[in-house]
Amino acid sequence: MSNGGPAKMKTDNAKPARRHFLKKLGGLAAAGGVATATHAAWGGHTLSDTFADFFQQHYREMSDIEIRETLERIERKAKNRYGVDIRCKDTAAIEGVLFGYAINVSKCRGYRDCVHACVKENNLSRDTQYIRVLELDRDNLNLHEGDHYYNSDTVPVEGKHYFPMQCMHCDNPPCVKACPVEATWTEPDGIVVVDYDWCIGCRYCMAACPYQARHFNWGYPKLPAEEITTETHYLGNRPRPRGVVEKCHFCIQRTREGRQPACQEACPSGARVFGNLLDPNSEIRYVLENKAVFRLKEDLGTEPKFWYFRDR
Amino acid sequence: MTDNNGHTGLWAFLRDGVHEILHGGRCYWMWVCFLLVFMTIGFLVYLYQITNGLLVTNMTNQVSWGFYISNFTFLVGVAAAAIMLAVPAYIFDRKDIKDVVLMGDTMAVAAVAMAILFVVVDLGRPDRIWHLIPTIGKFHFPESLLAWDVVVLNGYILLNLGISSYILYQHYHDREPKKSRYFPIVIIAIFWAISIHTVTAFLYSSNSGRPIWNNALLAPRFIASAFASGPAIMAIGLQIIRGMTNYPVSQSVINHLAIVTSIALQVTLFFIGAEIFTEFYNEGEHAASARYLFFGLHGHTALTPWIWTAILLLLIAVTIFMIHRTRNNPILMNTAFVFTVIGIWIEKGMGLVIPGFVPTPIGEIYEYVPSIAEIMITLGIWAFGLLFFTIMAKAALPIQCRYMRQYSDPRHPDACAINSNDAKISRTD
């Protein structure tokens, strides 16, 4: 509530968009009106919201109305919990797009700007990081000898090199196979996503992932209200519930709208190349075709859509 | 209340069962209350866990399964081992074992129930457990091994409940159970028992990113160690029943279980040895978890004393079992049974689950020790399992006794004579 001022301003900005959205749905506007009325009557987190949460269907099974109600409920819950107006969308994958990532290991200086940009953009609990940067002796690529928590005053340290890791968005993801309730799957644009509202929290996917890319919300996410990123996606950076698994989603809320992921934007040394693998003119295709790229643990057959390369 | 007219039909069967459960001697009630105390504490701590999240455990993103899943794995093995009574009883028609086979089935049901509870308390969102129900939820079968586990564990519990309640129900009504009715189910249950532990092993061995699990020996090793720990628990349980009641548990049954345990232990130790050889002869990165378990990794040695204790206990047990004179000594034999249970519990529990996560597939080391909350909840579930077994046995044994007496079993002329306060095993009239 301390940030009531700015939050209110955001509400004013968000409202026309919502109305526009409702109008677009035409005949469904009436149903929306009912939902709004209930909301006003109960003034926030209601019994009906709790019921709706409990009986919420799997994301891919929901009708358009159910999805819209769910998104509104998510916005309402964020308002209740953090006092912040967020906008939650579920922008679909763009046809003809398959995302891939490549990292120029020789350009990475170990600044970890990507790590922190990711935390902020994706509303991560402040004890969770999707990206980890390993510090290794120069020319050593044995992950088991990397330092996950290097903490020197300045980077890069002489004689060391830096190796960023995050979800590899495998084409053959062991985590997706493992999930007993299909709460995680590969989207048409190649992003491996989690339905946070469907995950039962068994953590079998975490055991299955060979890249340690999945993170569990052991408690409520520690998310400072004043730092919340308000443009969110259902399968992406919306505030997370407790007791569910989450992971890097290639900034789905940005990349599906033609923007670059936060980590790519934040990198000051230009080590990160993200783009559409199906576009022959994309930078990522140039890298894959002209650099000696490699992937992590290729022997496991996971087919990561995440490559590494070096300049020299 | 239980005259001959009285005990017909399902209602009387259930009524007499409940009556039996609610009427026991002092020892019975002390035992029940003892278990209820632990169950209550466990339940309250679980409420605390629900309120605060799995934060109250010591699990982390590095070691994302811990004490709960360790106990789960051990108990699935115990449940599978019920066939070490079922096979000789139903297939080879051994009368002495047939007398106690229902206790084996009951133990299997209790063990599976506990195993399922251990998975439930491990869930981050138990409120969403309905997502696992096919058609209502979204059941990822047959791709997910965990979905397979749900199928085989629930199937196994139903099969065992079906067999034992049918036989008991027939006995209650002084009828001989029809072999054509239960025998096919028994055959299915025997294969099913192997499947529950195989699937549980596959749950681990399917993870190609974790080399200590990802080997073909894991399922055979699971089965072998299950056939040691399960019969050992049954032998202890049957002797307690024999001591507390006058239910005729023939010593030949205990000897049978000792021999089964002995053979299974020998195979288990051989398998462990084969693993140690393969991991360490040409030691590479894949052996990091095994090194952590057996010798410690970069100064982290939390599990090392445990696993060597387990191996030592199993070696002592197998030695006792293999020498006729020591095996036939009741004190030594029971020591060996207890050592087997503790040894396998360590080896297949924490000794299997935790090293899979240490180091992580990308080399992080986090040493896990269960939190107080995890231990209290675990004790609560064990208390529940023991209570479940106790009251089921309490209800079932009088029926079995009466049945035996009715047919004046020549082998047990004094079977089920009433002379103990804790063993009110006849009808109340």
- The residue type found at A22 is L
DSSP characters for A64-131? Answer: HHHHHHHHHHHHHHHHHHHS---EEE-PPPPTT--EEEEEETTT--S--HHHHHHHHHTT--TT--S-
Nearest CA in chain B to A127: B61
Res. A31: pLDDT tops 80: no
Predicted TM-score of the model (pTM): 0.90
Whether B54 and A202 lie within 8 Å, measured CB to CB: no
Whether A182 and B360 lie within 8 Å, measured CB to CB: no
The CA distance from B50 to A29, in Å, is 38
Percent of all residues in chain B with a pLDDT value above 90, rounded to a whole number: 87
Whether A180 and B127 lie within 8 Å, measured CB to CB: no
Whether B128 and A200 lie within 8 Å, measured CB to CB: yes
Nearest CA in chain A to B65: A203
Nearest CA in chain B to A244: B124
Whether A201 and B123 lie within 8 Å, measured CB to CB: yes
Task: Tell me the nearest-neighbour CA distance from B222 into chain A, angstroms.
Answer: 19
| Chain B neighbors of A206, CB-CB under 8 A | 61, 64
Single residue among A57, A85, A113 that ends a domain in this structure: A85
Task: Tell me the nearest-neighbour CA distance from A18 into chain B, angstroms.
Answer: 30
pLDDT for the residue numbered A33: 41
- On whether the CB atoms of residues A174 and B208 are closer than 8 A, the answer is yes
Single residue among A68, A85, A102 that ends a domain in this structure: A85
Whether A200 and B138 lie within 8 Å, measured CB to CB: no
Residues A294 and A192 reside in one and the same domain: yes
- Please give the structure tokens belonging to residue A9: 């301003």
Q: pLDDT, tens digit, for every residue of B340-379? A: 999 999 999 999 999 999 999 999 999 999 999 999 999 9
Of residues A61, A143, A202, nearest to B123 (C-beta): A202
Whether A209 and B209 lie within 8 Å, measured CB to CB: yes
A306-309 and A99-104: which strand pairing?
Answer: parallel
The CA distance from B316 to A69, in Å, is 64
Residues A40 and A162 reside in one and the same domain: no
The CA distance from B197 to B37, in Å, is 31
pLDDT for the residue numbered B415: 52
Res. A2: pLDDT tops 70: no
Res. A15: pLDDT tops 80: no
Most confident of A18-32, B219-233, B395-409: B219-233
Res. A34: pLDDT tops 80: no
Q: pLDDT, tens digit, for every residue of A271-312? A: 999 999 999 999 999 999 999 999 999 999 999 999 999 986
Assess A141–B contact: CB distance below 8 Å, yes or no: no
The CA distance from B22 to A276, in Å, is 70
Residue A222 CB: number of other CB atoms within 10 A? 11
Res. B172: pLDDT tops 50: yes
Can the peptide bond before residue B359 be classed as cis, meaning omega within 30 degrees of 0? Answer: yes
A214-216 and A231-233: which strand pairing?
Answer: unpaired
pLDDT for the residue numbered A29: 38
| Pick among A206, A212, A303 to test the B interface (most B CBs inside 10 A) | A212
Task: Tell me the nearest-neighbour CA distance from B82 into chain A, angstroms.
Answer: 27
Tell me whether residue B150 is exposed, middle or buried, using C-beta atoms within 10 angstroms of its C-beta: 0 to 12, 13 to 18, 19 or more.
buried
The CA distance from B26 to B397, in Å, is 18
Residues A168 and A251 reside in one and the same domain: yes
Task: Tell me the nearest-neighbour CA distance from A114 into chain B, angstroms.
Answer: 19
Assess A177–B contact: CB distance below 8 Å, yes or no: yes
Res. A12: pLDDT tops 90: no
- Please give the structure tokens belonging to residue A72: 């509104």
Per-residue pLDDT band at B416 (split at 50, 70, 90): low
- Please give the structure tokens belonging to residue A140: 């050593």
The CA distance from B101 to B83, in Å, is 9
Domain boundaries, chain B: 9-125+148-406
Q: pLDDT, tens digit, for every residue of B105-129? A: 999 999 999 999 999 999 999 999 9
Residues A146 and A257 reside in one and the same domain: yes
Whether A198 and B131 lie within 8 Å, measured CB to CB: yes
Residues A146 and A44 reside in one and the same domain: no
Assess A58–B contact: CB distance below 8 Å, yes or no: yes
Of residues A180, A210, A244, nearest to B144 (C-beta): A180
Helices B218-244 and B179-205, interaxial angle, to 10°?
A: 130
| Chain A neighbors of B132, CB-CB under 8 A | 180-181, 200
The CA distance from A250 to A264, in Å, is 10
Can the peptide bond before residue A156 be classed as cis, meaning omega within 30 degrees of 0? Answer: yes
Q: What's the CATH number where A288 sits?
A: 3.30.70.20
- On whether the CB atoms of residues B107 and B237 are closer than 8 A, the answer is yes
Q: B169-186 burial, b if ≥16 CB within 10 A, otherwise e?
A: bbbbeeeeeeeeebeebb
pLDDT for the residue numbered B6: 53
Whether A179 and B144 lie within 8 Å, measured CB to CB: yes
B167-170 contacts at long range (C-beta below 8 A, 24 or more positions apart): B167/B102, B168/B102, B168/B396, B168/B399, B168/B400, B169/B10, B169/B13
The CA distance from A39 to A146, in Å, is 51
Residues A186 and A309 reside in one and the same domain: yes
Res. B405: pLDDT tops 50: yes
The CA distance from A35 to A38, in Å, is 5
SS3 A135: strand
Residues A102 and A233 reside in one and the same domain: yes
Whether B132 and A181 lie within 8 Å, measured CB to CB: yes
pLDDT for the residue numbered B410: 55
pLDDT for the residue numbered B402: 84
Task: Tell me the nearest-neighbour CA distance from B163 into chain A, angstroms.
Answer: 29
Give the residue-averaged pLDDT of B69-73.
98
SS3 A134: strand
pLDDT for the residue numbered B395: 94
Show Cβ contacts of residue B380 under 8 Å, excluding neighbours closer than 6 positions.
Answer: B38, B39, B40, B41, B42, B43, B45, B46
How many domains in chain A? Answer: 2
Assess A242–B contact: CB distance below 8 Å, yes or no: yes
Task: Tell me the nearest-neighbour CA distance from B338 into chain A, angstroms.
Answer: 32
The CA distance from B67 to B353, in Å, is 9
The mean pLDDT of chain A is 88
pLDDT for the residue numbered A38: 43
Q: pLDDT, tens digit, for every residue of A260-271? A: 999 999 999 999
- Please give the structure tokens belonging to residue B386: 């023991």
The CA distance from B253 to B248, in Å, is 10
Task: Tell me the nearest-neighbour CA distance from B235 into chain A, angstroms.
Answer: 34
In this predicted complex, what is the ipTM?
A: 0.91
Cβ contacts from A onto B, under 8 A: 148
Of residues B55, B123, B207, nearest to A219 (C-beta): B55
The CA distance from B105 to B89, in Å, is 12
Per-residue pLDDT band at A1 (split at 50, 70, 90): very low
The mean pLDDT of chain B is 92
Q: pLDDT, tens digit, for every residue of A199-219? A: 999 999 999 999 999 999 999
Q: pLDDT, tens digit, for every residue of B212-269? A: 999 999 999 999 999 999 999 999 999 999 998 888 899 999 999 999 999 999 999 9
DSSP one-letter code for B6: T
SS3 B183: helix
| Pick among A149, A202, A217 to test the B interface (most B CBs inside 10 A) | A202
Whether B129 and A200 lie within 8 Å, measured CB to CB: yes
| Chain B neighbors of A128, CB-CB under 8 A | 61
Nearest CA in chain B to A197: B128
Task: Tell me the nearest-neighbour CA distance from B127 into chain A, angstroms.
Answer: 8
| Chain A neighbors of B129, CB-CB under 8 A | 200
pLDDT for the residue numbered B232: 98
Res. B63: pLDDT tops 90: yes
Assess A55–B contact: CB distance below 8 Å, yes or no: no
Q: Which helix (H) or strand (E) holds B318?
A: helix B304-322
Res. A28: pLDDT tops 80: no
Alpha helices (H) along B323-349 = 324-327, 330-348
Give the residue-averaged pLDDT of B275-290.
95
| Pick from A29-43, A103-117, A208-222, B32-46: least confident | A29-43
Residues spanned by the domain of A42? 4-85
Assess A226–B contact: CB distance below 8 Å, yes or no: no
Of residues A54, A148, A211, nearest to B127 (C-beta): A54
| Pick among A200, A215, A299, A308 to test the B interface (most B CBs inside 10 A) | A200
Single residue among A27, A57, A85 that ends a domain in this structure: A85
Q: pLDDT, tens digit, for every residue of A89-136? A: 999 999 999 999 999 999 999 999 999 999 999 999 999 999 999 999
CATH number listed for the domain at residues B9-125+148-406? 1.20.1630.10
- The residue type found at A77 is K
Task: Tell me the nearest-neighbour CA distance from B374 into chain A, angstroms.
Answer: 14
Per-residue pLDDT band at B414 (split at 50, 70, 90): low
Give the residue-averaged pLDDT of B131-158.
96
pLDDT for the residue numbered A18: 39
Whether B127 and A217 lie within 8 Å, measured CB to CB: no
Give the residue-averaged pLDDT of B172-200.
94
Of residues A145, A177, A212, nearest to B143 (C-beta): A177
Backbone angles phi, psi at B394, to 5 degrees: -60, -40
